[in-house]
Structures are given as C-alpha cells and as structure tokens.
A and B are shown apart, each in its own frame.
Chain A
C-alpha cells in the first residue's frame, strides 16, 4: 500500500486459491498414415481379383469385390486437419475451496462444424493414483471430477487427450498433454491480541508502520477530514493552497510500530490427523488435516494479523535450504508470504543444514513444527538462548488412532511420549508452546500474559 492512499493495508482480503492448467505439450497432429484396414482390404481385393481372372472363377471375383467394398467404406486418412485442444470452462479459474469436490467442464476449443466429430479420449492420472479415462466426442462438453486438496500447491492430475476417427480405422491421431495444478493459499484466522514483547524495543528500536498515526515521520499533507487532529493543521500550506474549496490542509504522520516477526517453518514431514494414513498409502490423505496444512493456516493467520497492524514479518526455513524472506511490511509482503506458505512441501532430501539459520535481529520468532524429535526442539532453544523471544506453534493435528494395528498403536504411544518430553524441554527453556489447532485463543492468551508481565498497557494493540 502506498503511503498516500490513506487507507488500511488490505490484509483482510481473502487469499487467492485457484486451479492452474499448465500445458506441458501443445496440441500436435500425429503422422497421417494410411489405415492398415484399408491397405489389407485393398491387397486382398487385388489378390482375389487376380485369382479369379487366372482361375476364371466368378464366385472368387465376388469375394474380391466385397473386400473392395470394405476398402471403399474405410476412410484412408483422418477426415479433417483439426487438432483438438482441451479447453476448460471458466469455472476452473474461479476461486476454489479446499477439501471440496469440484466438477469442471471441458471441451474441444475449436471443433469444425463441417466435419463429423471425432472421438476424444481423455486419459488422466493423479500423482500416485490409478489412470482413468473418458471417451467422448469433440462436439460434447463433458465434466471432470476433481478433489480439491485442503491447501498448498498440488498437482491434481496430468491429462492427455487423443482424437481418432469414430470408426477407429485410422492410424492418425492428434494429442495434447497438460497438467492441472491446485494452488490453495491459507485462509487467515483473525488474531486480535498479538504479543509484542518489550524486549523487542531494545533490540530493534521503533520503525514506522504504513498506517496513519501519532508518530513523527511525515506521511502526507491533505485536506482536513473527520478524524484528523486539528492541532496538525498546516496553516502555511493552507495559505499557499489555491483551491477554491478553502479546506484547511493537515499534516498526517506515520504510526510507529515496534515489532518484527520471523515465522520459522519446519517442513520436514507432513502428517495427517489419521495416524493410519501415515503407514497405509492407500488411504486418501488429500482431504485430511495435515501438519503442513496447520502450518500454512497458522503462519498465514499470524502474518496477516501482524502486517495488518503495520509490523514487519519475515519467513525462515528452519530445517531446509529454502531462501528466507526478509522481514518487511505491506500487502505485497503478505502476498509473498502466502505464496511461500502455499508452496510449502516436504523436501525429498533428509539432509539438514549444517548451520542453524538465524532469525533477523530483534524479531519475535514463531517456530512451526509438529515436535516429533529432540533435534527440532533444540532449534528454538538455541534461538531463545541467543536472546530472541521465541514461541513454538505445535502443528501436529490431534491424532486419530482409528483402525490402527496394535504395534503401530504402541509406536504412537511412544511418539506421544516423545512429544511430551520435547514440550517439557521447551517449557524448561521458558518457551511457550501454542497448539495450532486453537491458534487464535492460545496466541491471544499468550499475548495477554506477556503484556501483563511486561506491564505494557495495551500490549495487544
């Protein structure tokens, strides 16, 4: 948002979630070969004809004539030169909701009405799933059923379209390949009472938010409007003003803001709520709440809330090699962060960076992790010892142990015990653990507690 626009940053706008149709290969026409059906029929007709002439047998000639009839009835080439191009209807570009089932229509982009419609074979396969197909004519507009994931960037299906003549007696085919991807950004959950530790002021000093407020940095000079402080009327500027309205001009100042926030992400694993889906790959985890889903949602909510009040927010990949996002403010930063959150994915590599990434100095650090091992717990502890104010957001969904075999149930018990030990270690370091499933309540409670502890009236601004 530009300072001169005089309005709040538009951080309350819903994030854009949509389907993206990426053409991997443009529609092309295959070689126009002659049909083997036609060729064999012609050959046999000739053989019977020659045989009938040599043997002087009219009955054999009749058989040859019938093979000739087959050859005549078979078109030798694909009748038209049209290359079918799959085109989704406009609903594919509309806003999508995660966790739902969506039906999108598609059709051939430019069928030739003068020719007979061809058969269109649409083959689609979801990553790791079974292949399926739909056979329709190029004149139809069939539908495609899609399960929209709950969040993130996911390849929904790769499709391939081929077209044939309706009698299938044609070698020539025309095809196109593409990929349908869902890009679902997290929906923010409004958090009102945000913690702003007093220690931050000592580290970072104040910076100016892009909001109007009672700071010292001049923001703009404009006509007096309801809500403006009359003590800030600039009489000299008003005297120089040549407009006929005669409205006094007032000096507006930027509001001060103190906090910088770093959102550190642990994206090594992505576990759904149902524990059986961790070990049974046939279970569909696409529509389940997963740890990365909670990370996207919680981080997006905090980023939107902090940026809405003019603070600076950055992002850090705590256990991976993704480039960090420097703390900054504004609507563009929120869009950048939302895209990064949506693109969060489990890394295929299990190698951890040898050097622990460092949050920006003086920033409040939120560390998002499912807290499954002690190695991860040491990261926020080291940041806290370095002087950062750190809170850990526990992103593991409430485990659902339905249909879990006995041995796996025992393993889950051990895992929960490990998580309890990790949480105890963090508590011993004075690090607050906030469950992501009830993020708003826990963050507001923590913010209230910190503002009271620091004797900051209005700590939750």
Chain B
C-alpha cells in the first residue's frame, strides 16, 4: 500500500475553546502580575540592604526574589505561592526600620499573590478569567488575608517588645497561616481538575 495511506488519518484537532471576548485574561498574565507583586513586595528589603551598604546581602536577596519570581512564572501553583508568601514575610521582617509605608505594599503583594496563584492553579495553563471573576475572588479572599496580615503584624510587634521566643513562635504561626490559606485553594483546585465527577 502507498506510504501515504499507511499513515493514521488526521484526528487531532486544536482546542475548540478559543480566546474569548474582551474582558478575559489569560492565566499566564495572572502569574506575571503575581511575580511582579512579589518583586515589589521585596523592594523595601532591598532598599534597607542598600542603605546598609551590604552588597552581598543585597545581591543574594535580589537573586532569591528573582528566582522565586521565575518559579512563579514557570509553575503558578500552590507550592510556589507558599514559597513566595514565605519569602515576602521574611523580607517584611527586615523592613521595619524603613518605615510604615511598607505595610500597605506588603499587604497588597501578599493578597495579590495568594489570589492570583490560587486562581491560576484552579484550571489549566490555557485558562482565561473574566474580570468579574477576578474581582469576586479578590473580594472574597480579603477577609482571611486580612487576618493573616494582622497575624504578621503581631509577629512583628512581638519580636520587638516581647520575649524572643514569642517572636519565633509568631514566625512559625505566620508560616502556618500561609499554609492554611493555601490549603483551601489547593483542595478546590484538586476538585476542579478531577477528571470525572465522583457522583
């Protein structure tokens, strides 16, 4: 038989769900914004290190931040989100001497990273989001995020005025709170990506 006829007939087709109307955003854009928020959130720490004229510390800090941002872009998942939140918290603990203006930046960055990466992990990389879905998710996640930020603030205060053990305990609590927040989103993404409905 002819070589052309021995080949499999064409069956594969591209996805039928195409980029849709105006007002939808790709998941890759969400990851990009999250990486940008991480770098912006780490900026106060970089400023602090630059004032302290510690180029090694500054370089290593920037390298870590850029590496985590690249990790976010490559794998916008819960694990990378958790790493980013921890890095942000570590950076925040250094910047108390810079000024109180860092607090809103930190809160905004943490909240954005959480929301964007939790949504990105909910669907395949080719997913698209409507603007209303993004706003609704950001609004709904604001309450637990606010609680987590308050917790971080208390950690900071405790490390100043209380015993050193309290600061360590608070740092552990901050890590756990970030894990708690991501646990719910991780469960939701597992359900959303389940191949078939168990019911």
Contacts and interface: CB of A to CB of B under 8 A. Distances in A.
Interface stretch (A126-134, A254-262, A379-387, A436-444): A126-134
Given A124-B16, A171-B191, A277-B10, A135 B119 contact: yes
Given A37-B181, A129-B13, A169-B141, 16 more contacts: A25-B197, A30-B197, A40-B180, A44-B176, A67-B173, A67-B177, A73-B144, A103-B20, A132-B128, A134-B24, A137-B133, A143-B20, A164-B192, A166-B137, A271-B9, A373-B1
A284 B12 CA distance: 7
Given A36-B183, A169-B144, A126 B14 contact: yes
B187 interface: yes
A121 B150 contact: no
A74 B140 CA distance: 10
Interface residues of A, number: 94
A411 B4 contact: yes
A415 B2 contact: yes
Interface stretch (B40-48, B57-65, B87-95, B162-170): B162-170
Contacts of B128: 132-135
A45 to B, nearest CB: 11
Given A136-B132, A177-B197, A123 B185 contact: no
Residue of B9, B13, B133, B185 most packed against chain A (CB within 10 A): B13
A292 to B, nearest CB: 11
Interface stretch (A155-163, A193-201, A224-232): A155-163
Nearest to A279: B7
B105 to A, nearest CB: 21
A143 to B, nearest CB: 5
A92 interface: no
A277 to B, nearest CB: 5
Interface in B8-32: 8-21, 24
B166 A59 contact: yes
A412 B151 CA distance: 71
B75 interface: no
Residue of B179, B183, B184 most packed against chain A (CB within 10 A): B184
A453 B64 CA distance: 89
A133 B124 contact: yes
Interface stretch (A3-11, A144-152, A319-327, A331-339): A144-152
B154 interface: yes
A149 B1 CA distance: 30
B130 A168 contact: no
19 contacts: A36-B183, A37-B181, A40-B180, A44-B173, A59-B166, A63-B154, A66-B150, A69-B150, A117-B136, A119-B137, A130-B126, A132-B16, A134-B128, A135-B123, A166-B139, A168-B137, A169-B185, A286-B13, A372-B2
A44 B18 CA distance: 45
A322 B13 CA distance: 27
A37 B144 contact: yes
B130 A131 contact: no
Contacts of B11: 127-128, 281
A29 B152 CA distance: 37
B184 A121 contact: no
A32 interface: no
A142 B21 contact: yes
B13 A144 contact: no
Nearest to A171: B187
A418 B5 CA distance: 12
A129 B158 CA distance: 55
A116 B139 CA distance: 11
A346 B9 contact: yes
B173 A145 contact: no
Contacts of B181: 37, 70, 169
A123 B123 contact: yes
B56 interface: no
Contacts of A277: 10
A43 B92 CA distance: 27
Contacts of A157: 16-17
Contact of A146 (B1, B16, B141, B143): B16
Contact of A162 (B1, B8, B147, B192): B192
B98 to A, nearest CB: 24
B78 to A, nearest CB: 10
A235 interface: no
A167 B180 contact: no
